[in-house]
Structure 1
Amino acid sequence: MTTYLEQSTTGVWDVPASFLPNVYIEAITRAGGTVVLLPPQPSSTAVAHRVLAGLDALVLTGGKDIESARYGQTPHPDSDEPRPDRDAWEFDLLEGALDRDLPVLGICRGAQVLNVLRGGTLHQHLPDIVGDDRYQRGGGIFSQAEVSVQEETALAGIVGPRVAVKLYHHQAVDRLGDGLVASAHTSDGIVEAVELPGASFVVAVQWHPEEDLDDLRLFEAVVEAARVGADRRADDRRTTEGVPA
């Protein structure tokens, strides 16, 4: 799971620190997985592949806005200060995961990272599109909405045709990235999930499933996909080495 890197205060210390809200970790562990935290750090394709070689899936978590130059735009006045270190790290990790066909779950920012990596763009400030702040009220208060899920998508197989979700985002997918499909929308047409058909498991939602630990379906799905992939790789190694299964 990727993490934040922000100025943080704890006890007598006020320092830059990597962290992740515990609800993310609890969601994966309750779903039967084991979490490895991946803080922003100097990155390259080679480094990302070394890290991914020891993992069975990748979860891209929420956080600050992606630098708008990555999708060919100038920043909106309400965009966050860029976090180029986190952007570089997560783009390298995601590209490596897709190359390896590792399962990927994107959450909020994670959905946007997937879309931009595949050449898509973002709406930089949803109030300009919908006329109000219904998607991000501010103050750490999550909005609630029901989204419609596209039939015959991986997401539909996980959560069904409609699902109640918790929202906290002022940006969203605009033009879809290469090969992606939009698998969920709100009633006013905002894309709330994307996925990559043909991959073993690449699903990314704009909402925050970790904020509802009574509904672990997305986390259970990525943990199961990780288990299946790990078993398949182990079988492939035994076949290559001539060891009986």
Structure 2
Amino acid sequence: MHRSELFDVSNEIVLVTGGGSGLGLAMARALAANGAKIALADNDKASLETAVTTIVAMGGQAIAVALDVRCDEAICQAFDKVEAALGPVSVLINNAGIAHRDKATHLERDTIRKVLSINVDSVLIVAQEAARRMIRDGRGGSIINISSILSDIPMRQVAAYGASKAAVSQITKSLALEWAKHGIRVNEIRPGWFDTDLTAPFLKGPGAGVMAGQNPTGRLGEAHDLDGVVLLLASKASAFMTGSSIVVDGGHSIGR
């Protein structure tokens, strides 16, 4: 199969949660540049509008979908809106998430619950909604969960965040096993250290230089560094992949 067909996403309708900025927007841009129709979902209206304008300006097709991933009704409505405007979602990028840094002895229950609600509960609930509709229509699809290298690597002061990303890894495998018979692939991307709004609390001051220095490649990740893997997982190129975790970290996890 020629690469133009193997990595073709021109018929894919992609919903990206947390798509208004950061890695979510970067992945959306990569797919839009290759012909996919994009629905950006976020609860930040200003970021969404700017993100859609960015994709349209580069010749892509995108719509904005207001979404608080903690609200089940809003999740259902988001999928309804995408179906009405673009068609049924064939690729879900479960990217919405938050980070929190604090000493483990200082973590409060409300903080832990907030991190787990957005990073874990919502990943499962959004995936459920996507899968129900894929199964309903008998068409299968691809679900891409965005985790982190911290799902497998312990780090000080990120107990809640690390636990949440470890849960995403287990969710990915469990859903992949259960939904394979329906033609639904569920895979996971584990980004390393990228300079985004999410990682700003970790990289402030000298943090960015320290993290870059610990990386075998000598730098932090850049937005375009996820382009290849997201094209792989959204296209036929990954037809025989499910339950897989792909690390994109410049070698950080092996060079520690």
Quickly name the TM-score band, shorter chain normalised: 0.3 to 0.5
> TM-score, normalised to structure 1's length?
0.41
Greater per-residue helix proportion: 2
